Each structure stands twice: as C-alpha cells, then as structure tokens.
Structure 1
Amino acid sequence: MSPAGEPDDLELRVVTDKGELLKIMMVAWGSHRMMIDLHVYDVAEIDALGLYEPNGRTAALASWTIRGETAYLCALHSLRPGEGVAIQMLDAVIAAARAAGAKRLKAMLTNDNMPGLVFYQRRGFRLSGLYLDAIDAYRSVVPTIIKTGYKDIPIHDAIELEIAL
C-alpha cells in the first residue's frame, strides 16, 4: 500500500476481453445490461477499464459510456474490497470521462446497495433521482435480475447519483 493508502503496482488498462466482467455482472446482478437515465447499456458493448496486479490478476473492473456531455458508470467491481482499489477505479473512470469531454458522471444503484450509496457520496456524488419500482419494471424485460441484495433487502427501486466533472 502507498502512503496515501492506495494499492501499489496496479496497472490501468482498457479491457478488450470483457468475459470476466460479464461473469461478475451475471453473479452480482443477474444480467450484464444496466438501465441508467432510461437507457439500457450492455456492458459487453461499451467501454471498460481494469486495474491489474503485476501478475496479471484483476483487481477491479469498470464499465462506462458517454452520451453528449454526460458519462454513465454502468458497473464498478473491486475484487479486493477494503483496499482502496474501488476508489482508484472510480478515479480512472472520472479521468477518462473528463478526457472524453463529459461534464458530469451518473451512476445508478438499487435500493439495497447501502455500501454503494456510502461509497459514491463519500467520493462527492449527489443524489439526483429516485425511480420507484424501476427495477421491478426492468425485471419484466430481464427476468434474471436478482430479487434480493445486500442484507437480503428486496430490490425494487433505483437511485441515481451524479457528480460534476
């Protein structure tokens, strides 16, 4: 770990083979498609970044895209929780979104995702939308989406957060 508490020796790379990310999405979410801002994004078809250990092992993955002046973070998964890797991954997405000309970055969480809500707000994101029954409606299109999540909380609603870039 560096003096700032961030993991050492991680290499940021563009992800070209999204197989690992898609597997993680299926386990964690039940789908590799996400709905943000009333648009469906398939993580298999949009940009992805990864942080990799020197031995090639994956430390974190993120999938994102941009439309107009808004970037959308569709997935962020740390495979080394509690080590600051997710913060490094989010910082990389923010830098890439800024470089692509985005003025804001949006993320969507389900109502059960208390750790995610804390994580994003501590990084400066603000609540920007609440979509009641959104996941129930989306589940009618993608029935494999999980029904319960963190601490066995039933998943029904979506919470949108955003940060100005």
Structure 2
Amino acid sequence: MISLSVVEDRLSLIDLLLLADDDRVSVENYLQLGTLYAIECHEKVIGAVLLIHHTDAITEIKNIALHQEQQGKGIGSQVIDEIVNIARKTGSKILEVGTANSSIGNLTFYQKCGFRMVDIKRDYFAHYKPTVVENGIVGLDLVLFQMDLRHEDKESS
C-alpha cells in the first residue's frame, strides 16, 4: 500500500524529481511551487510527486517519479488514484499532466489511467540540456493530458 506525505525539505527529493525531468535548471525553477509529496511504501520513500493547484480549478502534476525498480508494479496507478483524491479535495475539476513526445511509456500510462490528450506544445523541451532522447526519439514537444475530475470514477482501458 502506498501513501503520499508532504515534504518540507524539497531539496531532499530533487534526485528523484530528476528521474522524470532531466533538466536540473527547470526542476530547480519549479521546485518551490505547489506541494511536494514523497511517495512511500512500507515507510520507504520510493518516489516523489509535485502538484500545483491553479486558481482555475486545475491541479497540475508538474513532476512525478518512481525509482526504476518500482515501475511496472501498478504503483504508478495507485499514486494517480491518490492524486485524484487530493485534487478533488482541493476543489479541482481538472487534473493535468504533460510528458515528452518521446516518452512512449508515459504516453501509454496516462491514457490507461484515464487521461485524454488535449494539446501539444511544440518545442517545449528544445532548450533542455542535455537533449531529451528516449526510445530513439528526440523529445521536443510536450504532450498535454487532462482528466475530468467531475466524474466519480476515472475511465480506464
């Protein structure tokens, strides 16, 4: 069973956040925004998630990362369920997340969790150092997903 706990010492989780976002400058720029949570399993930190609650009833998953050995075990879906609960409690109507066009696993994962593609932000990652390359694809564009929280149950495939 996983749990999310608020973290005050944000720098303590920066290495985890860098698993999901390779550009340290970008991570440092948004690290102080929103609420940072440690993802815990059996009292051990196995990941991190940074949520930003926007005034327009949107909660953004700015960064979400699990240690590689924790991936593919269904933990990510449990974390999304917890995030949905948090977002609903804050009055959010939309949950939003973005990922690189090259992140094939993430593109699949978010859709399985009930997110829908809503936009593409061209060249969003063009300034990243080092250049984002995954699955033999250069990551240049941000694919933006949203989940409508006004429905009681998230859709799944």
**Under TM normalisation by the shorter chain, which class is it?**
0.7 to 0.9
Q: Hey, what does 1:92 align to over in structure 2?
A: 82
Partners of 1:72 and 1:157 in 2: CA distance: 18
Q: Hey, what does 1:33 align to over in structure 2?
A: 26
Partners of 1:122 and 1:112 in 2: CA distance: 17
Trace 1:1-165 onto structure 2 (pairs within 5 A).
8=1, 10-28=2-20, 29-31=22-24, 33=26, 42-54=30-42, 56-67=43-54, 68-79=56-67, 80-136=70-126, 139=127, 143-144=128-129, 146-165=130-149
Larger displacement relative to structure 2 (14-23 or 89-98): 14-23
Paired residue total: 144
Question: C-alpha deviations, 1:19-61, integer Å up to 9, x for none?
Answer: 2431233354222636xxxxxx70333202222233x421221
TM-score (norm 2): 0.81
CA contact (8 A) 1:60 1:85 kept: no
Secondary structure of residue in 2 paired with 1:33 = helix
Partners of 2:3 and 2:123 in 1: CA distance: 39
Partners of 1:61 and 1:25 in 2: CA distance: 7
Q: 1:149 to 1:44 in 2, by over 3 A?
A: farther
Question: C-alpha deviations, 1:128-156, integer Å up to 9, x for none?
Answer: 001222221xx1xxx53x31332232121
Q: CA deviation at 1:113?
A: 0.7
Q: Hey, what does 2:155 align to over in structure 1?
A: none
Measured on the aligned residues, the alpha-carbon RMSD in Å equals 2.0
Q: CA deviation at 1:93?
A: 1.2
Partners of 1:130 and 1:12 in 2: CA distance: 29
**Identity over aligned residues, as a percent?**
19
Q: Which amino acid aligns with 1:149?
A: V
